[in-house]
Amino acid sequence: MKSSINLRLERRHWLRGLGLAGLALGATLSASSVLAQAGATRWQPVKPIRMVVNLPPGTAMDSIARALATPMQEALGQQVIIDNRAGAGGLIGGDLVAKSAPDGYTLLATPGSLMAIVPSVYEKTPFDPNKDLAPVGGTARALLFLVAKPSVPANNIQEFIRYLQANPGKYSYGSAGNGSSPHLAGEMFKRDAGVNTVHVPYKGTAPALQDLLAGQLDYNFDAGAGVEHMRTGRLKLFAIGNATRSSLFPDVPTLQEAGLKDFDASTTYGIYAPAGTPDHIVARLNEEINKALHQKVVRDRITALGAEVVSGTPADLARTNQEDGKRFGAIARALNIRPD
């Protein structure tokens, strides 16, 4: 028979082993619990996602949204459907999304003008773009190209400015409508360059570009639709209306380099969800948008539009919109710019 001392030692070893096993089991269960919780917060859509574009088909924002749709639906396992709802400076599409269920299944693809310009131009709107929409992520920074018809007798931006200064009130520029970013850029240019030209608003960028190509207008601030015409010489490209030069035309100066201090008329194309969308859903959508933006086919599509790829967090996009809003809001209020 075993002595009482041996029995006590065996019992002690047995309890110690049981304790270690229990700790190991507890650690395993704890890790499983963490993983289960992480899995529960990593949103996985169970039905198609509608991405509303508040501009017509064929616009830069529409092209970017369609470029993002394919890699996003591959990653999310659900179809991403593009739904164009244009009109009222982007408010029609924006209102639809702002009043949709905050569940991740309805998104808005919009230029930054909806956030940075509309609040200062429209006295009343059906929703507040900066309160009723939640930033998900930026996609691209829109470049504006100062272009003119080929018959304009100038070969560089300095000559072009002198040409306009010498002929006050005789020449015109077009835009996508009152309160659009090309309109605000045009008014900033008039103020900073000291020129007097006539603004002709259109219902969209396409008709403004067509009239410029036809010689009915003298110059425009083009958001990328006319890139091929710049390359072929059907349009004269004088300057970039952003803080940095374009990678497509690296030899073309910015208006800041031409002497127009602090001139920057760019905005950021972004994706938004209805306010109140849970953080973990916004985080998953932001993750997949950023992954898509790193794919070469998507990046090439964006740069071909004359824009620059922009990725980042929802907070990055919100901060950019706030900065742009201050710049555009100041000139919109100073000139009392109102919609059509």
Provide the residue-wise pLDDT of the chain in tens; the chain has 340 residues.
Answer: 444 444 444 444 444 444 444 444 443 334 333 333 444 489 999 999 999 999 989 888 999 999 999 999 999 999 999 999 998 889 999 999 999 999 999 999 999 999 999 998 888 999 999 999 999 999 999 999 999 999 999 999 999 999 999 999 999 999 988 888 899 999 999 999 999 999 999 988 889 999 999 999 999 999 888 999 999 999 999 999 999 999 999 999 999 999 999 899 989 999 999 999 999 999 999 999 999 999 999 999 999 988 999 999 999 999 999 999 998 988 888 888 887 6
Nearest to residue 175, comparing CAs of 141, 207, 197? 207
Report the pLDDT value the prediction gives residue 340, as an integer from 0 to 100: 64
List alpha helices for the chain, DSSP H. Answer: 4-41, 60-76, 91-98, 113-116, 118-121, 129-132, 157-165, 181-193, 205-213, 227-232, 279-293, 296-304, 314-334
Cβ-contact 327, 264 below 8 angstroms: yes
CA 249, chain centre distance (Å): 22
SS3 222: strand
Amino acid in position 289: I
Nearest to residue 45, comparing CAs of 88, 104, 90? 104
List all residues 6 or more positions away from 213 whose beta carbon is below 8 Å from its beta carbon.
149, 226, 229, 234, 235
Q: Which domains does the chain have, with CATH numbers?
A: 49-142+267-334 (3.40.190.150), 145-240 (3.40.190.10)
Cβ-contact 171, 164 below 8 angstroms: yes
CA 311 to CA 289: how far, in whole Å? 8
* Residue the block writes with tokens 């100041």: 330
Report the pLDDT value the prediction gives residue 94, as an integer from 0 to 100: 97
Phi, psi dihedrals of residue 54, rounded to the nearest 5°: -90, 25
CA 288 to CA 294: how far, in whole Å? 10
Report the pLDDT value the prediction gives residue 40, as an integer from 0 to 100: 46
Report the pLDDT value the prediction gives residue 22, as an integer from 0 to 100: 44
- CB count, 10 Å around CB of 251? 7
Say if pTM beats, i.e. exceeds, 0.85. no
- CB count, 10 Å around CB of 200? 18
Structure tokens at 313: 């967090």
Structure tokens at 106: 């309805």
